């Protein structure tokens, strides 16, 4: 260690004026402004927030018209749904006696309640639409073909999870629309050959839509399905990189 370095360390310890800077540097591993290609790619690889893209991407990947950003918009709508959903959980109770009144109270007696509930509902509609549009884009650009077939299958699983999240959330207001929609939906499941009635009984926890169904749909909606979706999204994004980034014409 050089003489100057020792002096600098001693100086740091001696001055309170250095404290904010030291705290900042202890949290953020700031580097000098990168000047070479290597340092630029290292800067991207080292940043958590840049990590969704790999350090090197094809020029086409960065153009909006390649994907219209539909996949990421789906992810962002999921983030909005998680944030608003957790807030709604503070005031909602999944019981037949209280659920509907709690939903009304969210609209009438909770600060920002109407806003949060509407954001959650519109966000849910948006997410279903965005996932569909994303899949259409993937299909039309041929991005489901080799070597990305498995990621397409993961995408199908993500679509089904999204739809099932939408369906389970639909019951929670416990109004007439919700009740009969789930009655009809689970009856459709009951038509599956052989195991249909069993599937319906598993979903509802009873022979009809009632207390057990509300509790089951709630647990699926707030824990099981979001956790599954998060894991699948991680796999989906990881596979994008492992499959060589976004699809592009073979000449490029």
Q: Tokens 């498995």 belong to which residue?
A: 150
Give yes or no for residue 197 binding other proteins (CB under 8 A): no
Nearest to other proteins of 47, 187 (CB atom): 187
* Direct distance between the N- and C-terminal alpha carbons of the chain, in angstroms, rounded to an integer: 50
Half-sphere exposure of 30 (CA within 13 A, CB side): 9
**Contact by Cβ (8 Å): 201, 127:** no
**Contact by Cβ (8 Å): 143, 247:** yes
Nearest to other proteins of 83, 215 (CB atom): 215
Whether omega before 147 lies within 30 degrees of 0, making that bond cis, reads yes
Give yes or no for residue 199 binding other proteins (CB under 8 A): no
Give yes or no for residue 187 binding other proteins (CB under 8 A): yes
**Alpha-carbon distance values, 84 to 24, 47, 65, 199, 229 (Å):** 31, 27, 30, 31, 17
| Cα 153 to Cα 88: distance, rounded to the nearest angstrom | 32
Give yes or no for residue 210 binding other proteins (CB under 8 A): yes
Which candidate, 158, 157, 148, 153, places its Cα nearest to that of 70?
158
| Cα 231 to Cα 225: distance, rounded to the nearest angstrom | 10
Phi, psi of 50 (to 5 degrees): -90, 0
Nearest to other proteins of 105, 212 (CB atom): 212
Phi, psi of 173 (to 5 degrees): -65, -20
Give yes or no for residue 192 binding other proteins (CB under 8 A): no
Give yes or no for residue 207 binding other proteins (CB under 8 A): yes
Q: How many residues bind other proteins (CB under 8 A)?
A: 15
Nearest to other proteins of 73, 217 (CB atom): 217
Give yes or no for residue 98 binding other proteins (CB under 8 A): no
Which region, judged by CB under 8 A, interacts with other proteins, from 45-53, 81-89, 153-161, 207-215?
Answer: 207-215
Choosing from 205, 228, 235, 243, the residue that interacts with other proteins (CB under 8 A) is 205
Choosing from 202, 223, 238, 241, the residue that interacts with other proteins (CB under 8 A) is 202
Half-sphere exposure of 130 (CA within 13 A, CB side): 19
Give yes or no for residue 188 binding other proteins (CB under 8 A): yes
Nearest to other proteins of 139, 202 (CB atom): 202
Shortest separation between residue 86's beta carbon and other proteins, angstroms:
25
Nearest to other proteins of 120, 200 (CB atom): 200
> Where along the sequence are the contacts to other proteins (CB under 8 A)?
180, 183-184, 186-188, 201-202, 205-208, 210-212
């Amino acid at each position: 260690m050089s003489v100057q370095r020792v002096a600098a360390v001693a100086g740091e310890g001696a001055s309170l004026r250095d404290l904010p800077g030291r705290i900042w540097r202890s949290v953020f591993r700031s580097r000098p402004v990168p000047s070479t290609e290597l340092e630029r790619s290292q800067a991207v690889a080292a940043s958590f927030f840049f990590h969704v893209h790999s350090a090197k991407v094809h020029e086409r990947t960065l153009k909006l018209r390649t994907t219209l950003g539909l996949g990421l918009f789906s992810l962002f709508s999921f983030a909005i749904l998680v944030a608003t959903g957790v807030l709604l959980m503070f005031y909602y109770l999944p019981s037949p006696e209280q659920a509907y009144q709690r939903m009304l109270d969210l609209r009438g007696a909770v600060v920002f309640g109407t806003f949060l509930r509407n954001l959650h509902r519109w966000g849910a509609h948006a997410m279903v639409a965005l996932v569909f549009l994303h899949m259409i884009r993937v299909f039309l650009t041929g991005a489901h073909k080799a070597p990305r077939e498995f990621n397409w299958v993961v995408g199908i699983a993500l679509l089904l999870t999204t739809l099932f999240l939408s369906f389970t959330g639909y019951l929670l207001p416990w109004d007439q629309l919700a009740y009969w929609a789930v009655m009809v939906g689970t009856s459709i499941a009951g038509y599956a050959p052989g195991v249909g009635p069993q599937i319906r009984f598993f979903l509802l926890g009873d022979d009809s839509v009632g207390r057990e169904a509300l509790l089951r749909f709630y647990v699926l909606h707030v824990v099981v399905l979001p956790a599954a979706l998060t894991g699948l999204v991680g796999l989906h994004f990881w596979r994008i990189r492992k499959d060589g980034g976004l699809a592009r014409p073979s000449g490029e």
